[in-house]
Structure 1
Amino acid sequence: MLKTETPSPRHTELDQYSVLDLVAAFVDDQFQAVQAVRDAAPRIAAAIAMAVPRVEAGGRLIYVGAGTSGRLGVLDSVELYPTFSWPTERAQALLAGGMGAMFQAVEGAEDDREQGGRDLLALAPTPNDVVFLLAASGGTPYVLGALHAARGAGALTIGIANNDHAPVALQAEVGITLDTGVEVISGSTRLKAGTSQKIVLNTISSALMVRLHKVYGNLMVDLKPTNAKLVRRAVRLTMHATGADEAAARRTLEQCRFHVKVAIVALLRQATVEQAETLLEQAKGSVRAALAL
């Protein structure tokens, strides 16, 4: 039996727990998710190293999964635009059963291996694309179909599973096994198995964005200010990075359509917005390198 399906020997009387004990059982079990990701760090680092040159060459990030795993992939993909100005067309997500399955389960969709392959091929994958294949069990047919289609197209495949010897990890170019063990509620991989997958996706996509110069120091300087909160954040980030007062930061941001990178370089180099944009282009988007030119 898969570890993720095996009943926990620690919580055989779970339905008899007090509310406080229930909270403790669920929360304490989540620490194993963090440890599982720590244990997989070398494989996660290998995935990032292999993905960087592909996305630098124009590749996309493509997420494939079913159920909870698929929804986590959708979540990671849609958050990249407001956080890092990553183009939406370069972050695609495939969910077994279609996007409607984000809100309501589509019975049997995850068992359709051929549909997984068709959906992946419909995106016209290229060797520069990076495809994340997510399956807690590690054997979801829809995901395996997409995996084989991606490999056939030469894309980088990163398989993420929560069971040892899982096909999705073994058959991908980079396999990441997150050994989270048994769940408090047997088989409910929306618990710590899902948590571990969320951590891994956050880690990989964020690390890629750092390598693509969308972070200066530890500041998210390539965000897309699509609402009032993000506009205020852009002002604060610019002030923090440059020491400018709010008026100067906002004035410069308004001149460059609230592109934090440009505002930082303009203020620190005492340059015009146009000059700052040129410096950033020469530095391939790196604020640090632009400041050194």
Structure 2
Amino acid sequence: MLTTTTTRVLETGELEAALAVLDRDPVANAFVAARVHIAGLDPWRLGGEMWGWYAGGRLESLCYAGANLVPICAGPEAVRAFADRARRSGRRCSSIVGPAGPTAELWSLLEPHWGPARDVRAHQPLMVTRSMPADIGPDPLVRRVRKDEMDVIMPACVAMFTEEVGVSPLAGDGGLLYQARVAELVGSGRSFARIEDGRVLFKAEIGAATDRACQIQGVWVAPEHRGRGLSVTGMAAVLRYALQEVSPVVSLYVNDYNAAARAAYRRVGFEEVGAFMSVLF
């Protein structure tokens, strides 16, 4: 039997089919799934296009093409099709990120046209937990950040982003988009911090959330307070919020060279279940 394949931008009426693909791996796909649940498939609301790869008329794979380029449930043939479309469209994203296998393959096809990258993080362990640690008490001083504390949390967010990504989020548009994202997380009750005397000692956010899985991001401890275990008890506090109020599965991904962070997450009960890869421009 001859199987025909095609790649195109999804139409708004294909939401159910897109969610079915995303639901195949709710942990790995949490970031994109959360956006789709909120915004649907309209490119303006979604913040990018959703490309679909079809085999025999059936939607099999997706690729989110916005500020990030994210392959979703993409096998080799779908990756090649997405790479061809991305190459013809030109680079409009600031990063390529997703499960390590397909992301590495996608980058190998795009690097001759889009390279060099500013940084390639080829192995970022994906970690998951479904329960609270039995022997770690959540930090009682970690709480939701209030809307009137934007001026307190923003410096910590900027410091975390700059340390993690290597460039300041204030570059380009002066930080307007980044500040809007931080305000969105604060406003939705998904930004958490330990604040003492008007300074952030620990912070983290639940950056993506569906009713099946959520993802913690932006974990940061003020440099002068590192080594005191704040990341362990702070993460336990955020984890409690996530499990009680958001979803039954909590995930995160971390740079493989960050041994201290990986040890802290394991201490709270996170286990490695896979790996992501990020290509930063």
Common fold: TM-score over 0.5:
no
Q: Give the greater-gyration-radius structure (CA).
A: 1
Higher relative contact order, structure no. (Cα contacts within 8 Å, ≥ 6 residues apart): 2
TM-score by length of 1: 0.27
Q: Which has the higher helix share?
A: 1
Q: Which has the higher strand share?
A: 2
TM-score by length of 2: 0.28
